[in-house]
Amino acid sequence: MRAASAPRTQPHSERLLVIDPGAGTFADRRILELPRLTHPGDVWVVNDAATLPASLVISPELELRLVAQEDERTFWALAFGSGDARVPTEQRALPPPLPVGTTLRFGEELSARVVAVDAHSARLIAIRFEQSDARLWQGLYRAGRPIQYAYLSRPLALWDVQNGYASRPWAFEMPSAGRPLSFELLFGLERAGAEVLRLTHAAGISSTGDSALDRRLPIPERYEIPRASAERVSLARARRSRVVAVGTSVTRALESAELGGHRAGVAELLLGPGYRPRVVSGILSGMHEPNTTHFSLLEAFAPRGLLEASFAHAERAGYLEHEFGDACLILPGALSSTECG
């Protein structure tokens, strides 16, 4: 499937592959048709995390990409060697050694010290910034830039990777499933009788360039669900209404809260074949090739055979993948048994 190479100038032109696992069917739609696919009483949950400028270039031989936050000043980061965003991650050179105690400087206003190195990969390090509070965030926003990948045709600005309803700066890459959800669409869902709720989940990176590290993705990520959102989801479940997660980050947060019994915590749950969601009925996601981690996540919502058939159709039909590509809605009851792509 061809990758979308830049943000869309007309977001509402996005295509939508609708998969109904109950009926075993799929069909082509447009993202603007989402309100027609929802039912009165449905609950849609979005991730309102804003995207950080999580790529920090120290020198031509060293780039750090922040991947998780431990506390107010401590972050885990992934190190890359020479090359830049135009080079595929798997082709980047190895970074120089970064043992504990190494001091890192990101321009004149931001600096950090390496405080830990992952036991399995020396590329994964914990850094503690020497600045705090406003000085830390000002320095980070001045020195950093959005994480991006080689299939993109131009450098991304920070506003390219923000959802319209973004709030707290928690995400390291854009929670891209929510990217096409303009306020026009969200209001359309509400006019159709659905309820739109929010939570915050620290969406992490999608590729490390190392197959062993990639198998560990997604790494544990923190989440926080407002009390009002948790209560409304519980009410929807009690009346057997559908709960639609906008993205895998929302799914991981809701399912982790159900399993652990806490509205805030760290999501360690891995979605995939064999996992049956307890809270989430369906998911709005991006398009991803079979045999990738992101594709496997969708097997928690639909049989692999149906996913493969529908995505093969999408490839033939010219759908685009990755964060600026087209969308996929997997939702029981979205289609009648006679509708098929």
Cβ–Cβ under 8 Å, residues 307 and 290: yes
Q: Can you name the residues that pair with 13 across neighbouring β-strands?
A: none
- From the centroid of its chain, how far is CA 302? 19
Phi and psi at residue 90, in whole multiples of 5°? -70, -10
Query: Quick count: other Cβ atoms within 10 Å of Cβ 93?
Result: 12
DSSP 199-237: EEE----S--S-HHHHTTPSPPEEEE--HHHHHHHHHHH
Query: Which amino acid appears at position 253 of this protein?
Result: A
Query: What is the residue type of 92?
Result: R
**How far apart (Å, rounded) are the C-alpha atoms in residues 109 and 104?**
12
Could you give the CA distance from residue 296 to residue 290 in angstroms, rounded to a whole number?
8
Q: How many helices (H) and strands (E) does the chain have?
A: 8, 17
Q: What is the 3-state secondary structure (H, E, C) of 237-306?
A: HHCCCCEEEECHHHHHHHHHHHHHCCCEEEECCCCCCCCCCCCCCEEEEECCCCCCHHHHHHHHCCCHHH
Q: How many Cβ atoms from other residues are within 10 Å of residue 318's Cβ? A: 10
168 CB-near residues (< 8 Å, 6+ apart):
48, 49, 50, 200
Nearest CA among 234, 220, 243, 292 for reference residue 263: 234
DSSP state of 321: B
* Six token digits for residue 232: 């409304």
Burial class (CB in 10 A: 0-12, 13-18, 19+), 108: exposed
Print pLDDT tens along the chain (341 aa): 999 999 988 878 899 999 999 999 999 999 999 999 999 999 999 999 999 999 999 999 999 999 999 999 999 999 999 999 999 999 999 999 999 999 999 988 999 999 999 999 999 999 999 999 999 999 999 999 999 999 999 999 999 999 999 999 999 999 999 999 999 999 999 999 999 999 999 999 989 999 899 888 888 999 999 999 999 999 999 999 999 999 999 999 999 999 988 999 999 988 888 899 999 999 999 998 887 778 888 999 999 999 999 999 999 999 999 999 999 999 999 996 545 54
